Structure 1
């Protein structure tokens, strides 16, 4: 469940952004041809989100590797939970300061990442290039030796000829299952069924919310004024670290992401390296970073910002790569024809082109930074616990001591801050991106 919740949201935001950015003329064409819900999804909406979904899938898998240590090995009160896996192995090695074991664990992890990149991500990235909105085919496109081999394979062509009729019949069955657009068979009956479903869902959800709220109030009554002051102060310090990490990450991810997205040759070289860097659990490398910071006098105050950056900057980078790759090639050819300067290209073409993807990446990156605060502000290393004031430190400390009222208060405040940011900042920016 923890891996799923860590993976799903950035893909959800990516697909939402893709739907909101579909050109109006394509939506009108779907209405003119009276495509039903399945036809519109399969021929318009899914292709529109394909590039963003693939790159965010790469990021999701990298994020799953990143949080392995926190997921497979943790303490709750007086109980220790450990699952067999690479994450718990690296977590134990990091807590003991066993750098040799950390090196072997990272070597295995990097080998798995390289294999997944060659067999899955490179073919997918080259394949989704055909879904780009452009009138002129690009001269330089992503390449995959494995995809070229599969396309040339006579065996696979035979298999495809056998399987294609089954796929076509399945597609026709779905087309018949969905009612034609704007032609409901029995509007009153459909409305009545929809109202019943809505009423059941809202009623069940309301019961769960009321019960959960009552239980939460009973727990929060046990907190003292000093506990609330600790939570609010921690929220302030963690928010400052999140903002600093965001701006520092934007400084290098935007230019590098555009370079990778617009240069397929560079992408062939850097893409696996970026995936490896994004997938390596930062909590495994954090002891080395922390030792260096302690020796230089930086301490965990700077170290927590660094760990937040390690957890969030990849969301920005992968979304910028997807945005740069999705810009139609003819726009760049027009920029060459009109001899636009580098500043003019960034102002009138590149930044507007990547802006929707950048907003999606920023939302998921900020969420990742809030998550990373839990492991960056409360670190156990060689039997010692090193902390810095913040909401993540409060959550980790409350979890370790089994203080569930304080844990609920800190988690609720963190959730409230994220929701308020989405409402007041990200939603207006999404409208601007459209």
Structure 2
């Protein structure tokens, strides 16, 4: 067993040993070596700055807006983004696996994930910034850790939802094969769980990076409790340039961001999406497989064999140490005549959770209600209802527009090669970078921010639906597509009987994460400013943003709790039944 899935061998023939072929292999090896040296060199250049000591003037509250600093700022931002993405992946694998494999833990973990994705990024920052500063005293690393953690909170939840949904909807025959082969839990994870979830997880990784870019300004220019901590980065640069009302500098930042997004797409996402095609559940090869120049160079260089050679002993070691955990199909909970005992344990478990929940509610009541009063709490609930209406309208319009487009992109490899970079640019581009221009447009055309904020929220959250639908359409087996063509189904019938049912589960995942992202995006969408002009919409997002900036803890807690209640209630009352329907009626198993 190995960590790394085998890749298709490069086609060989009688002339494979020719000088031209050897030249291509040598050139590919040199390119890969130069790329690795450049990567390690960039890390060596950036890492010392992360732990630099705090100067005598304390943590800076401003950054330079000299455009010459933009390449360095972009590198710092990209480093934060991918450190957060690494921790998000680790969290996704642990959390999603625990929720999918343990019914007892699922009762707690799935609703908790609903709550976590509903907590706005400013809520996490206001609660943790002091902790990070205490953990790393006298070093800028404390603020860096807070920034990375904030980006993590904008990335992890949709990835965890995607992985969890992939696990609970694995094809039945593959699950039975894993049980028949008596794979260990570790083997099953790498042989079945990760490969079967690879395509939707990869697209959600792309979306997570896009979500991280969206909240980049709040992550790099941290304003909590009447204090501002500024880190060198492209997000803080835009925030500073907007306060100076310098549209030219904002334009340079936008150009830099477009270049960064295109490079990441070319060097990372395109090779990964082409490589992930091997994990599609199908019995026939795709007629138009996805291609990537970077992936071709990597395969020619022989790095696959090198990684597999390193991975085999590591995999064998983990195989041995994880065998005591049991094999696939074994149950940790007791069986065989112990039903009454198990029922008692479950009852005690539920009672304990109820007591802990009641204690937490009481403590929140003591902390918030006496300080604010019932009238203020009613006002917060009303603001939450206004934001809920915006989120609902956003989801309806985004689904109507983007489900057909996403399905077409996912099912057509040629179209995907053309439009994927375009979608990736728009999804990864921080929409709040253009907020200053939008603010000027709203002012010039007298557009009410209460309606305009819906557009601003959509700029950052509609992509959750797009990417999940693309992933769902990409995973439709070629056998079913060929059958549909052989039956000469009309277009409307093909959409009704194949495409929409196939992407329904992916749309559910995208809808859940888009809703959570929209609530989070309300923080930066219901309050927009440019220079001396500030537009504020009535809603829970603007309420939390204002309370965070002045450090009003009871109002912050009240806003976060009400937002969490709205999100969890929507997920339990609407999304949970819809997901159940998707698993029963529309899963490919």
Match of 2:151 in 1: 3
After the TM superposition, which residues 108-187 of structure 1 pair with which residues of structure 2 at under 5 Å, given as runs?
A: 108-154=256-302, 156=303, 159-160=306-307, 162-163=309-310, 165-167=312-314, 169-170=316-317, 172-174=319-321, 176-181=323-328
Q: Does structure 2 conserve the Cα–Cα contact (< 8 Å) formed by 1:287 and 1:381?
A: yes
Match of 1:259 in 2: 408
Secondary structure of the equivalent of 1:380? strand
Q: Does structure 2 conserve the Cα–Cα contact (< 8 Å) formed by 1:290 and 1:299?
A: no
CA distance in 1, matches of 2:333, 2:552: 56
Match of 2:252 in 1: 104
Q: Which moved more, 1:80-89 or 1:161-170?
A: 161-170
Classify 1:92/1:152 alpha carbon distance in 2 versus 1 (closer, same or farther; 3 Å).
same
Q: Does structure 2 conserve the Cα–Cα contact (< 8 Å) formed by 1:216 and 1:408?
A: no
Match of 1:87 in 2: 235
Q: Which moved more, 1:216-225 or 1:317-326?
A: 216-225
Q: CA deviation at 1:51?
A: 0.5
Structure 2 residue 383 is the aligned partner of structure 1 residue 234: yes
Please, which runs of 5 or more residues in structure 1 have no aligned partner? Answer: none
Match of 2:192 in 1: 44
Deviations 1:157-191 (A, max 9, x none): 66256435424533542564532356799989xx9
Q: Does structure 2 conserve the Cα–Cα contact (< 8 Å) formed by 1:36 and 1:179?
A: yes
Deviations 1:324-372 (A, max 9, x none): 0000011111111111111101100000100111000000000011011
Match of 2:174 in 1: 26
Question: Could you tell me the TM-score, scaled by structure 1's length?
Answer: 0.90
Classify 1:160/1:288 alpha carbon distance in 2 versus 1 (closer, same or farther; 3 Å).
closer
Match of 1:320 in 2: 469
Match of 2:574 in 1: 425
Match of 1:348 in 2: 497
After the TM superposition, which residues 195-344 of structure 1 pair with which residues of structure 2 at under 5 Å, given as runs?
A: 210=359, 213-214=362-363, 217-344=366-493
Secondary structure of the equivalent of 1:97? coil
CA distance in 2, matches of 1:14, 1:412: 25
Match of 2:214 in 1: 66
The number of aligned residues is 428
Q: Does structure 2 conserve the Cα–Cα contact (< 8 Å) formed by 1:227 and 1:406?
A: no
CA distance in 2, matches of 1:266, 1:235: 40
Structure 2 residue 536 is the aligned partner of structure 1 residue 387: yes
After the TM superposition, which residues 355-366 of structure 1 pair with which residues of structure 2 at under 5 Å, given as runs?
A: 355-366=504-515
Secondary structure of the equivalent of 1:221? helix
CA distance in 1, matches of 2:331, 2:224: 54
Aligned CA-pair RMSD:
2.9
Secondary structure of the equivalent of 2:549? helix
Q: Does structure 1 conserve the Cα–Cα contact (< 8 Å) formed by 2:386 and 2:539?
A: yes
Question: Could you tell me the TM-score, scaled by structure 2's length?
Answer: 0.68
Please, which runs of 5 or more residues in structure 2 have no aligned partner? Answer: 1-148, 339-343, 584-589
Classify 1:324/1:211 alpha carbon distance in 2 versus 1 (closer, same or farther; 3 Å).
closer
Classify 1:184/1:378 alpha carbon distance in 2 versus 1 (closer, same or farther; 3 Å).
closer
CA distance in 1, matches of 2:165, 2:301: 36
